[in-house]
């Protein structure tokens, strides 16, 4: 098992390296002229050229990539003399539109996104799995039919629309909750919960639908397995059969989906972040596209990709934990 | 026959489906004496596995209708409450299935699966249960059971897995053991070992056994009585010798003709019964076997296709369901 | 060019200009208005991530100029806060005791500061601070996009390439040149600007980028986030992005006596950032609880019919001209024949373009470059009624166009249409193609990446370029000269007679007379069809039930921030 994990981590690091290269080269190929965009207000050809040198854009893509990589470990200085900007290690680049280190920009917003993703994740996973199991056990009954149809609706709701509807009724119309004003949980836990509860629920409902359906079909498939019959023949109470035998076996695809969804949420709840005015990575990504900021985009892409790769690793390890047959492979 | 250990009266099992009601078992009556071995034979769809599961109580109550009585040592299984029923599974009665690989949970060590079986029915510590598990494995002939107990099912061979299944079934000393095609999924070389093992164990423990199979070789070797099922009905029942040497029903004769005989009288060519098993939703009128029967010409008129024959005596401790026995000219 | 923040229009017009009008006299600003209550908090729900900047030398967006000017940044002069195009664009003194004193030929202007003007730390605002702020316009290290009229007008020598020999206070090169162009009196109260040409409306110019910054304070880009206030409020908190906010609270060191211009009624102002547009407008529509004192600075197209047809929103909605004239520039180098240009204008289906932009809420049909809300400099040009020889309906007159083309002896005209690519502009281009085809003119659309649009078309213009322009202050001197002489001359007009008349008008000191001159020039420009004016843009907004007063402040096309209040 340990060897398995070590091997996977090494592969992961390699992947990340390759990914940084690809992302870096891709963004370098974009037509936007960063030197022009960031050269200040009175722009002459000469100042653009100076700015180009300051940003290191006069070098080849691969030299720039090397600078980018080394900056992660030893930091980097843009320009020379008094006007130089120092980006200390670990330096993920410098945003010239926001005049801040990219890493700092990302770290400021990452907690919000992580809290949003994690909270929703727990809710939709627990809710979805429970409903899915219940639905499978009541297969064909009215409970099953109700859950299945509601899940279908949840599945097909556009998050933007759904978020707006929820805000309109819960906050604006009924005034059950104050308008979301994000605070970190360690600063103001009550405010944090008040702000997060709706986006959590909205995300949870959208995603739970999928997990309900997935769990239901997995459970139905598993409940037909021979080893479930064996478990019953042993005289196990039905609850033990479901929990210990059926659920665990049906869990593998759920773990896969959940791992990827969690990682995806970190970069993908952009729309809900906008609707609920949450200061997460999504807003940063959008603003960096609107006011092109290559450094931030590269940074966000890398961070998100890292999460996805790590999530994949965790999924694979969990796989091995759940299913002993995987370990030999 | 009140002394019989297992007694089934007029068992009817049906599954409502969108296409109609599937009558998997239609009025099955039979009994097994204590310590005896009954073999139930028949094609797939004959109702033999359903009967076994009805006895064990493994049929989904939401999707099945069961009528009749199943008395195990005088206790009416169909009348007692589900919790009592559950507590009898794995202790009073146990079952072995056809495919040991899919019947063992792939994610749990075999030891844990055995221990789980022990601890549902016995109030013992995990450690004691583990000792029992190892003993159980040793008893079914698994070498080095102290080590094997920690293996996962996929680490064992097919024969070993079936031995584990047997160990698991016997671990709480059941009075009734139902084996549903216990050797079908195994290599031919292993089949005999498993058959021998089961017979040995039965000798040691005196367990009453029902073997469900389509392998008449197994039947001949193991069973005291044979019950032949067709279309959800018992069509012939008797001692193994009677059924083997004096099959009284054309279907039984067909079955016997379709397999190599273990008594040496090999038919060089196998003689499978032409035609398909009957629909259980709309079974044929009259004798369910008549559309495939080669001997119906021997029965006068259209009796075979209009009147369902009764199970009538064909000899001592031998009954069969065929108009030939009453109307025909053998 | 003052920039306005608004989705579709800005997309189309990107780097366009801004607006203001001129007029002299007029006394104090809001203070005379009265009727407001003191206290409470006014909240702005903004879909933006932040204010573009808080740096007084960089801010250039009409709404931000109005808001920051009302709260934390005073300038030498300001516009009267009152409803009406003329009233709302009347120049009044702010930090200065009057609206400035020009030399006889208007090549130098002096302003004297009132007594008692202080920074938020209590220190006095001096002439040196105004000079220092002004000098920052030369600072190449500041973020781009701010006004640079100091660079244009101050009497400081330039290099051969036209760049100034003064490089700003941080670099310091050429400081002595600046110091002789901008001088302070002995008592550090009177500032004099020496100009390189006569600028009769320089007292309007000083509303843009001439606000003071504490002299000597090393203020680079970071000043954009935490400027020192000299107005009635100061910054308590400023966080950007969704969930972020700008909180302004009372500046204890501001003295009412030094500032007759601002009413400063609410105790605080809050700008909430990253509020999704529809969420913001729904909150203001519902207007319950704290949202009763909230406002949005724009409305989405979808909610316009609701807001403007339901009587419950009466009295808190605004539908008014924004700063922009939307037009298509016709490149006179490639289309030198006036009749050909007129044919293009005559053939165009302006009605379809209007519908594409959103119908009646999008604006009114434009008849020239100068827009009515500029004040006295606007007069109808009669472009579509008489100037082309016949009345041209909004849907265009292909027959007239064909006639004009044949008079010019042109057939099979092929032109290329440059535009910054957005979904709306793609549709607009299609309308151009179809409506000109009716007159036998072939249009080739040439979409250009939005961020690079103006860079491309100034360097490599085709025949037709979509654009937009708003004046920097309420004087056609910030419209006609840049569009048709120099500055934003997409049409590449090179008409010496016209340029001479423009120069004459620019330097005319008699405001009434100047306005009449502009009327004539605007009409001439319209007739020569250097641009096809298509739309005078409009802009809609909505405030909560406890916000007042509600009207569009013509100077900026904004809320009348300096006199706003929250009802308790």
- Backbone angle region of A37, left / alpha / beta, with phi > 0 → left and psi within -120 to 50 → alpha: alpha
Which segments of B174-281 does DSSP mark as H helices, in order?
A: 188-205, 216-222, 240-245, 250-257
Chain A residues close to C140, C-beta within 8 Å = 40-42, 47
Task: Give the closest-approach CA distance of C160 to chain A in angstroms.
Answer: 13
Any domain includes C137: no
> What local confidence, expressed as pLDDT, does residue B183 receive?
86
In the block, which residue shows the tokens 């059969």?
A241
| A42:C221 CB<8 A | no
Put simply, whether B107 touches A (Cβ < 8 Å) is: yes
- From the list B90, B102, B152, the residue facing A226 with the nearest CB is B102
Q: How far is CA C144 from CA A43, C148, C467, in A?
A: 8, 10, 20
CA proximity to C479, closest of C491, C488, C471: C471
| A229:B105 CB<8 A | no
Put simply, whether A172 touches C (Cβ < 8 Å) is: yes
Helix, strand, coil shares, percent, chain B, to 5: 35, 25, 40
Listing DSSP states for A166-197 in one string gives HIIIIIIIS-SSPPP----TTT-HHHHHHHHH
Any domain includes C162: no
Share of chain C above pLDDT 70, in %: 92
Helix, strand, coil shares, percent, chain C, to 5: 35, 20, 45
Gap between the Cα atoms of A282 and B25, Å rounded? 62
Gap between the Cα atoms of C518 and C533, Å rounded? 17
Put simply, whether A246 touches C (Cβ < 8 Å) is: no
* Mean confidence (pLDDT) of chain C: 88
- From the list A227, A233, A323, the residue facing B95 with the nearest CB is A233
Put simply, whether B165 touches A (Cβ < 8 Å) is: yes
Listing DSSP states for A90-109 in one string gives S---EETTTTEEHHHHHHHH
Task: Give the closest-approach CA distance of B48 to chain A in angstroms.
Answer: 16
Task: Report, as an integer, the average pLDDT of A258-273.
Answer: 78
Q: Which domain holds residue C400?
A: 321-539
Strand partners, B311: B321
Task: Give the closest-approach CA distance of B105 to chain A in angstroms.
Answer: 5
Any domain includes C37: no
Put simply, whether A324 touches B (Cβ < 8 Å) is: yes
> What local confidence, expressed as pLDDT, does residue C415 receive?
96
In the block, which residue shows the tokens 């940003």?
A55
What pLDDT, in 10s, does the model give residues C11-38?
Answer: 233 333 333 332 222 333 444 345 678 9
> What local confidence, expressed as pLDDT, does residue A43 receive?
56
| B120:A225 CB<8 A | no
**pLDDT of C155 above 90:** yes
Task: Give the closest-approach CA distance of C213 to chain A in angstroms.
Answer: 18
* Mean confidence (pLDDT) of chain B: 88
Put simply, whether A248 touches B (Cβ < 8 Å) is: yes
Put simply, whether A184 touches B (Cβ < 8 Å) is: no
Any domain includes C419: yes
> What local confidence, expressed as pLDDT, does residue A33 receive?
67
Closest residue on chain A to C45 (Cα): A277
Task: Report, as an integer, the average pLDDT of C42-55.
Answer: 89
Put simply, whether A83 touches C (Cβ < 8 Å) is: yes
| C140:A42 CB<8 A | yes
Chain B residues close to A249, C-beta within 8 Å = 105-107
| A44:C163 CB<8 A | yes
Chain A residues close to B56, C-beta within 8 Å = 233
Put simply, whether A292 touches C (Cβ < 8 Å) is: yes
Vertex A104 angle, CA A103 and A106, to 5°: 65
Q: What are phi and psi of B111, to 5 degrees?
A: -60, -45
* Res. A166 pLDDT band, cuts 50 70 90: confident
| A234:B116 CB<8 A | yes
Put simply, whether B282 touches A (Cβ < 8 Å) is: no
Strand partners, A218: none
Largest CA distance in chain A: 85
Any domain includes C371: yes
| C239:A279 CB<8 A | yes
Q: Any residues with CB less than 8 A from the CB of C403 and at least 6 apart, and which?
A: none
Cis peptide before B118 (omega within 30 of 0): no
Task: Report, as an integer, the average pLDDT of C48-52.
Answer: 84
Structure tokens at C22: 């001129």
Q: What are phi and psi of C140, to 5 degrees?
A: -70, -15
Contact residues, A window 213-242, toward B, CB-based 8 Å cutoff: 225-227, 229-237
Cβ–Cβ under 8 Å, residues C487 and C1 = no
**pLDDT of B269 above 60:** no
> What local confidence, expressed as pLDDT, does residue C28 receive?
37
Listing DSSP states for C64-119 in one string gives HHHHHHHHT---SEEE---SSTTGGG-EEESSBSSS-EE-TTSSEEEEEBPTT-B-
> What local confidence, expressed as pLDDT, does residue A89 receive?
81
Q: How many Cβ contacts (< 8 angstroms) between chains A and B?
A: 69
Task: Report, as an integer, the average pLDDT of B83-109.
Answer: 92
**pLDDT of A119 above 70:** yes
Contact residues, B window 51-90, toward A, CB-based 8 Å cutoff: 56, 58, 62, 86-90
What pLDDT, in 10s, does the model give residues B108-131?
Answer: 999 999 999 999 999 999 999 999
CA proximity to C440, closest of C396, C401, C394: C401
**pLDDT of C374 above 80:** yes
What pLDDT, in 10s, does the model give residues A76-89?
Answer: 887 766 667 788 88
Closest residue on chain A to B117 (Cα): A234
Burial class (CB in 10 A: 0-12, 13-18, 19+), B143: exposed
> What local confidence, expressed as pLDDT, does residue C24 receive?
27
Any domain includes C236: no
Structural domains of chain A ordered from first start = 32-91 (no CATH), 105-328 (1.10.3720.10)
- Of the residues B50, B53, B103, the best mutation for testing chain A's interface (the one with the most A CB atoms within 10 Å of its CB) is B103
Q: Which chains touch C (3 or more CB pairs under 8 A)?
A: A
> What local confidence, expressed as pLDDT, does residue C11 receive?
29
Any domain includes C532: yes
Name the 3-class secondary structure at C393. Answer: coil
Q: What are phi and psi of C241, to 5 degrees?
A: 85, 175
- Backbone angle region of A306, left / alpha / beta, with phi > 0 → left and psi within -120 to 50 → alpha: alpha
Q: Which chains touch B (3 or more CB pairs under 8 A)?
A: A
Highest-confidence range of A55-59, A71-75, B181-185, C396-400, by mean pLDDT?
A: C396-400
Any domain includes C464: yes
Q: Which chains touch A (3 or more CB pairs under 8 A)?
A: B, C
Q: Which of A269-278, C268-277, C353-362 has the lowest mean pLDDT?
A: A269-278
The domain tally of chain C equals 1
- The top-level CATH class assigned to B6-92+174-326 is alpha beta
What pLDDT, in 10s, does the model give residues B132-142?
Answer: 999 999 999 99
CA proximity to C7, closest of C425, C360, C295, C307: C425
Gap between the Cα atoms of C328 and C425, Å rounded? 12
Gap between the Cα atoms of A55 and A77, Å rounded? 9
> What local confidence, expressed as pLDDT, does residue A319 receive?
83
> What local confidence, expressed as pLDDT, does residue A39 receive?
58
- From the list A40, A41, A167, the residue facing C279 with the nearest CB is A167
Gap between the Cα atoms of C389 and C6, Å rounded? 37
* Res. B320 pLDDT band, cuts 50 70 90: very high
Strands B93-96 and B176-180: parallel
In the block, which residue shows the tokens 């980097």?
A76
Name the 3-class secondary structure at B237. Answer: strand
We report the CATH number of the domain holding residue C500 as 3.10.105.10
* Res. B103 pLDDT band, cuts 50 70 90: very high
| A279:C243 CB<8 A | yes
Chain A residues close to B62, C-beta within 8 Å = 139-140
Cβ–Cβ under 8 Å, residues B14 and B23 = yes
Put simply, whether C143 touches A (Cβ < 8 Å) is: yes
Gap between the Cα atoms of C316 and C554, Å rounded? 17
What pLDDT, in 10s, does the model give residues C451-466?
Answer: 678 778 888 889 999 9
- From the list C58, C138, C243, the residue facing A182 with the nearest CB is C243
Residues in chain C: 568
Chain A residues close to C148, C-beta within 8 Å = 41-42
Our answer on whether C and A touch (3+ beta-carbon pairs < 8 Å) is: yes
Task: Give the closest-approach CA distance of A296 to chain C in angstroms.
Answer: 14
- From the list B56, B103, B106, the residue facing A323 with the nearest CB is B106
| C279:A277 CB<8 A | yes
> What local confidence, expressed as pLDDT, does residue A305 receive?
83
| A164:C279 CB<8 A | yes
- Delimit the domains of chain B by residue range: 6-92+174-326, 106-169
- From the list A83, A173, A277, the residue facing C276 with the nearest CB is A277
CA A194 centroid distance within chain:
22
Cβ–Cβ under 8 Å, residues C105 and C199 = no
Highest-confidence range of A211-220, B78-87, B267-276, C230-239, by mean pLDDT?
A: C230-239
> What local confidence, expressed as pLDDT, does residue C401 receive?
95
């Amino acid at each position: 098992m340990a060897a398995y994990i070590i091997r996977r981590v090494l592969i992961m690091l390699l992947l990340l390296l390759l990914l940084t290269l690809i992302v870096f080269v891709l963004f370098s190929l974009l037509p936007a002229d960063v030197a022009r965009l960031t050269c200040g207000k009175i722009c002459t050809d000469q100042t653009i050229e100076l700015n180009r040198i300051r940003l290191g854009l006069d070098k080849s893509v691969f030299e720039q990539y090397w600078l980018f990589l080394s900056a992660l470990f030893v930091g980097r200085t843009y320009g020379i003399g008094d006007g130089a900007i120092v980006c200390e290690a670990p330096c993920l680049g410098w945003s010239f539109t926001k005049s801040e280190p990219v890493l700092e920009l990302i770290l400021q917003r990452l907690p919000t996104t992580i809290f949003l993703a994690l909270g929703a994740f727990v809710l939709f996973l627990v809710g979805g799995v429970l409903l899915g199991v219940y639905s499978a056990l009541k297969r064909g009954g009215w409970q099953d039919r109700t859950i299945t149809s509601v899940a279908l609706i949840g599945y097909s709701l556009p998050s933007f629309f759904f978020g707006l509807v929820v805000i309109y009724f819960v906050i604006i119309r009924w005034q059950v909750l104050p308008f979301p004003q994000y605070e970190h949980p360690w600063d103001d836990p009550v405010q944090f919960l008040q702000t997060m509860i709706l986006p959590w629920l909205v995300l949870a409902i959208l995603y739970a639908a999928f997990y309900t359906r997935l769990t239901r079909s997995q459970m139905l498939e598993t409940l037909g397995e021979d080893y479930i019959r064996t478990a019953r023949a042993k005289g196990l109470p039905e609850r033990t059969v479901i929990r210990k035998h059926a659920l665990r076996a049906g869990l593998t695809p759920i773990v896969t989906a959940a791992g990827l969804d969690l990682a995806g949420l970190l970069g993908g709840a952009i729309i809900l972040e906008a609707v609920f005015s949450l200061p997460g990575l999504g807003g940063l990504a959008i603003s960096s596209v609107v006011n092109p900021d290559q450094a931030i985009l590269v940074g966000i892409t890398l961070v998100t990709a890292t999460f996805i790769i790590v999530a994949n690793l965790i999924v694979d390890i969990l796989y091995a934990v759940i299913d002993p047959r995987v370990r030999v492979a | 026959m009140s002394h019989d250990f297992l007694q089934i009266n007029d068992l009817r099992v049906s599954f409502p489906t969108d296409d109609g009601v599937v009558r998997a078992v239609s009025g099955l009556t039979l009994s097994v004496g204590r310590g005896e071995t009954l073999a139930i034979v028949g094609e797939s769809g004959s109702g033999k596995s359903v009967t076994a599961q009805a006895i064990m109580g493994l049929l989904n109550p939401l999707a099945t209708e069961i009528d009749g009585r199943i008395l195990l040592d005088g206790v009416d299984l169909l009348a007692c409450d589900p919790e009592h029923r559950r507590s009898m599974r794995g202790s009073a009665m146990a079952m072995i299935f056809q495919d040991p690989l899919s019947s063992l949970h792939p994610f749990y060590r075999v030891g844990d699966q055995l221990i789980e079986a022990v601890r549902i029915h016995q109030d013992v510590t995990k450690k004691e249960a583990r000792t029992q598990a190892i003993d159980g494995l040793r008893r079914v002939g698994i070498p080095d059971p102290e080590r094997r107990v920690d293996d996962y099912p996929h680490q064992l061979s097919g024969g070993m897995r079936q031995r584990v299944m047997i160990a698991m079934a016997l671990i709480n000393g059941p009075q009734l053991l139902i084996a549903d095609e216990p050797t079908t999924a195994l290599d031919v070389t292993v089949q005999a070992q498993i058959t021998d093992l089961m017979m040995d164990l039965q000798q040691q423990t005196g367990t009453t056994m029902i073997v469900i199979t389509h392998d008449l070789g197994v039947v001949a070797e193991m069973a005291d009585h044979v019950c032949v099922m067709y279309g959800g009905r018992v069509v012939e029942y008797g001692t193994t010798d009677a059924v083997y040497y004096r099959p009284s029903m054309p279907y039984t004769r067909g079955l016997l003709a379709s397999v190599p005989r273990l008594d040496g009288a090999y038919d060089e060519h196998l003689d499978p019964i032409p035609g398909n098993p009957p629909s259980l939703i709309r079974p044929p009128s009259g004798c369910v076997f008549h559309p495939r029967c080669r001997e119906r010409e021997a029965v006068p008129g259209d009796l075979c296709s209009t009147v369902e024959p009764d199970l009538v005596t064909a000899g001592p401790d031998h009954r069969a369901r065929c108009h030939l026995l009453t109307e025909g000219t053998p | 060019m003052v920039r306005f923040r608004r989705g579709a229009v800005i997309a189309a017009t990107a780097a366009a200009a801004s607006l203001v009008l001129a007029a002299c006299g007029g006394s104090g600003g809001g203070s005379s208005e009265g009727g407001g209550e003191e206290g409470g908090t006014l909240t702005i729900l903004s879909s933006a991530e932040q204010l573009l900047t808080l740096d007084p030398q960089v801010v250039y967006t009409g709404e931000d100029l109005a808001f920051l000017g009302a709260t934390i940044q005073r300038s030498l002069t300001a516009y009267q806060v009152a409803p009406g195009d003329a009233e709302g664009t009347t120049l009044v003194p702010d930090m200065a005791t009057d609206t400035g004193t020009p030399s006889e030929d208007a090549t130098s202007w002096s302003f004297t500061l009132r007594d008692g003007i202080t920074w938020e730390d209590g220190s006095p605002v001096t002439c040196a601070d105004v000079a220092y702020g002004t000098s920052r316009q030369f600072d190449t290290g500041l973020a781009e996009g701010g006004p640079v009229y100091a660079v244009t007008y101050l009497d400081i020598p330039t290099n051969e390439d036209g760049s100034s020999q003064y490089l700003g206070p941080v670099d310091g090169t050429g400081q002595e040149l600046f110091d002789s162009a901008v001088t302070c009196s002995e008592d550090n109260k009177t500032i004099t600007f020496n100009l390189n040409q006569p600028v009769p409306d320089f007292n309007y110019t000083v509303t843009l980028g001439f606000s003071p910054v504490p002299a000597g304070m090393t203020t680079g880009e970071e000043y954009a986030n935490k400027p020192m206030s000299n107005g009635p409020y100061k910054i308590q908190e400023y966080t950007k992005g969704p969930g972020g906010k700008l909180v302004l609270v009372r500046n204890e060191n501001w003295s009412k006596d030094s500032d007759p211009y601002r009413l400063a009624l609410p105790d605080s102002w809050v700008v909430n950032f990253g509020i999704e547009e529809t969420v913001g407008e729904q909150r203001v529509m519902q207007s319950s609880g704290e949202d009763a004192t909230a406002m949005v600075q724009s409305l989405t197209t979808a909610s316009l019919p609701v807001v403007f047809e339901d009587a419950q929103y009466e009295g808190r909605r605004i539908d008014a001209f924004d700063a922009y004239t939307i037009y298509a520039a016709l490149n006179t180098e490639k289309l030198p024949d006036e009749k050909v240009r007129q044919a293009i204008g005559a053939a165009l289906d302006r009605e379809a373009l209007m519908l594409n932009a959103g119908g009646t809420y999008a604006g009114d049909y434009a008849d020239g470059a100068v827009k009515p809300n500029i004040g006295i400099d606007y007069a109808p040009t009669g472009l579509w009624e008489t100037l082309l020889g016949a009345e041209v309906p909004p849907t265009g007159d292909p027959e007239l166009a064909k006639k004009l083309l044949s008079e010019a002896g042109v057939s099979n005209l092929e032109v290329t249409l440059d535009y910054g690519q957005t979904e709306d502009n793609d549709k607009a281009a299609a309308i151009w193609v179809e409506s000109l085809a009716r007159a036998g003119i072939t249009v080739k659309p040439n979409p250009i990446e939005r961020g690079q649009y103006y860079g491309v078309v100034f360097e490599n213009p085709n025949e037709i370029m979509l654009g937009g322009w708003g004046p920097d202050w309420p004087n056609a001197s910030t419209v006609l000269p840049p569009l048709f002489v120099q500055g934003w001359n997409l049409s590449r007009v090179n008409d010496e007679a016209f340029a001479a008349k423009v120069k004459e008008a620019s330097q005319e000191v008699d405001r009434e007379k100047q306005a009449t001159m502009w009327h004539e020039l605007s009409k001439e420009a319209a007739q020569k069809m250097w641009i096809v004016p298509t739309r005078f843009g409009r802009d809609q907004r909505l405030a909560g039930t406890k916000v007042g007063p509600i009207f569009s402040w013509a100077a900026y096309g904004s809320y009348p921030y300096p006199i706003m209040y929250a009802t308790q």
